[in-house]
Amino acid sequence: MSETSANVVAIYPGSFDPITTGHLDVIERGSRLCDRLIVSILRNEAKAPLFTVEERMEMLSEVTDRFPNVEVDCFHGLLADYALRRGARVIIRGIRAISDYEYELQMALMNRRLQPQLETIFLLAGEQYSFISSKLVKEIISLGGNIAGLVPPTVEKCLRARLKEVD
Could you list the active site residues?
23, 47, 96, 134
Q: How far apart are CA 6 and CA 4, in angstroms?
A: 7
| Helix/strand/coil (H/E/C) assignment for every residue in 96-165 | CCHHHHHHHHHHHHHHHHHCCCCEEEEEECCHHHCCCCHHHHHHHHHCCCCCECCECHHHHHHHHHHHHH
CB 71 within 8 A of CB 38: yes
Q: Which of 51, 42, 53 is nearest to 75 (CA)?
A: 42
Question: Who's near 51: CB < 8 A, 6+ residues apart?
Answer: 17, 18, 59, 158, 162
